[in-house]
Structure 1
């Protein structure tokens, strides 16, 4: 079994300003730095075989904080980048809602029907993300622990893929991956399973809980 520790990057300036942040970038704010450092301490005893991160600056910054100087190979994987929002990038959500009301409604409430005029659609992101995830696990063998650092929509799309569920209620469904959260998955005999999703209570978790092998 290969265990995957999937982390969403820490909170950024644009996260705090409610701006769309896909392929463009802003740095982590103090809260984002603190949570990444805290999670890094909780994962410090895990022997990671390798690390894979989106090449975005905010994920690279989060990765550096998580590792805290540990000598582990870090691989930039473009397939793990966030959804491209095209002309929406850097704009506040309220501004987009006013200027692109129909598309905005589809984006948040009917993601399976959303068609981007610029940028990517949800299914496009899901397909490339799953391709990247499968490529990663094919490079590893039973017993390996792999750290993956990525983004909200990308991680959620991977969760839906692993759960073999549709994305009709992508944002309003039962899965949440807040900034700095930890999701743990396993790959065994060609199948993915999830131990837990979007956890931010890792300050209360000991090593045995973080390393647990429990499907739910």
Structure 2
């Protein structure tokens, strides 16, 4: 089985540095171009199923990628981004001053927005792993599955599934991370970045 994990394209909030978790902002013109570019890179993959976060930026990303594949994405709220609570929509520089995320959170996955009525990244990873396990239970061994999500939550999930691959980095907008799954083991196949 093959998973194609894709982070949504750049949004208006991304462009003006506003924190964006469960609040939403549509893809910007650049974001649409990024996803169209990634869609071209993925055109030769035979996608059998697709799952997406129900947040608009992820849905829009999945719909662009799935053009010509004749399948509709399945919305799964467990694939949503980290809920940043009352810090949603605030300038990211101000949020960083609160030290909610450790300086090395990309290594430790220590990110806890619960004091601000949000979520802890480890809880988010747990719900995403549950979603992936349900997808596995409802798929065939030779399926290729598109999963469209968000930066922090998707990175946390992948870092959990593939903890020791040095190639794994926090994904840029519209990055595709292709992962093979066989007999309970995940392995990183390819990382596709947007080509400008």
Q: Which residue of 2 aligns with 1:182?
A: 176
| Pairing 1:126–2:125 present | yes
User: Aligned-residue CA RMSD in angstroms?
Assistant: 2.0
User: Could you say if the C-alpha distance between residues 113 and 33 of structure 1 is closer, same or farther in structure 2, counting changes exceeding 3 Å?
Assistant: closer
1:40 corresponds in structure 2 to 39
Q: Which residue of 2 aligns with 1:169?
A: none
2:66 corresponds in structure 1 to 67
Give yes or no for the alignment of 1:92 onto 2:86: no
Q: Say if 2:190 is the partner of 1:196.
A: yes
The answer for unaligned runs of 5 or more in structure 2 is: none
CA distance, structure 1, for counterparts of residue 185 and residue 30 of structure 2: 35
Task: Give TM-score, length-normalised by structure 1.
Answer: 0.81
> Could you tell me how far apart the structure 2 residues matched to 1:17 and 1:34 are?
18
In the superposition, the TM-score normalised over structure 2's length comes to: 0.88
Give yes or no for contact 1:129–1:157 (8 Å, CA) kept in 2.
no
Gaps of 5+ in 1: 166-172, 205-216
- Secondary structure of the residue aligned to 1:5 is strand
How far did 1:59 drift?
0.5
Aligned residues between the structures? 189
CA distance in 2, matches of 1:40, 1:113: 31
SS at match of 2:114: coil
Q: For each residue in 1:156-194, what CA deviation from the matched residue of structure 2 results, as whole angstroms up to 9, or x when unmatched? A: 1111111246xxxxxxx9612010101011110011111
Using the TM superposition, name which of 106-115 and 85-94 deviates more: 106-115
Report what 2:114 is aligned to.
Answer: 116
Give the 3-state SS of the residue equivalent to 1:184 in structure 2: strand
8 A contact 1:59–1:149 mirrored in 2:
yes
CA distance in 2, matches of 1:79, 1:180: 20
Q: Which has the larger radius of gyration?
A: 1
**Per-residue deviation at 1:24?**
0.6
**1:81 lines up with 2:74 in the alignment:** no
Deviations 1:32-86 (A, max 9, x none): 1001111112222322111000000000111111122531131001110000000
Change (3 A) 1:142 1:194: same
Partner residue of 1:209?
A: none
| Per-residue CA distance 1:132-169 (angstroms, 9 max, x = gap) | 1111112112111111100001111111111246xxxx
Secondary structure (helix, strand or coil) at the match of 2:17 reads coil
Moved >6 Å (runs of 4+): none
8 Å CA contact 1:137–1:187 kept in 2: the answer is no
